[in-house]
Amino acid sequence: MSTGTAGAPHGGQLASAISNKVVHVMSEFTGRGPTRARTYLHEDLITVVVQDTLTKGERSLVADGKAEVVMTTRREFQETMRSELVAGVEGRTGRKVIAFFSANHIDPDAAVETFLLAPAA
């Protein structure tokens, strides 16, 4: 995929840059970033799959049967991180994000951040 503007990263470089941005933002907002991230690029859709995202405190809550508390908190983090994640993707692709989708999962510990881009000019 050759997403982006002239001189902007594309293909594997773009995927790596987006993965790194998502990990950095998650770390800044939650105090701990995921240990694994992989970005998939397809035309107007970018999806980042992150794994091993839960903090020690969140893992403790899950162990105590409070997974829904963790999921609620994670949804709030996603809303709070939204603008920075979108700006990061827009800055790296040179394209406008028209929709952002985010979902978390407890077991396995994984999440997805998906960005729908405006059609290329």
**Which two structure tokens, joined as six digits, stand for 34?**
């995921």
pLDDT tens by residue, 63-105: 999 999 999 999 999 999 999 999 999 999 999 999 999 999 9
- How many CB atoms sit inside 10 A of residue 47's CB? 16
Angle between helices 11-30 and 67-93 (to 10 degrees): 140
Task: Please give the C-alpha separations between residue 39 and each of 15, 60, 61, 68, in angstroms, as whole numbers.
Answer: 5, 29, 29, 27
Q: What is the DSSP letter of 64?
A: T
Overall residue count recorded for the chain in this entry: 121
* This model's pTM is above 0.85: yes
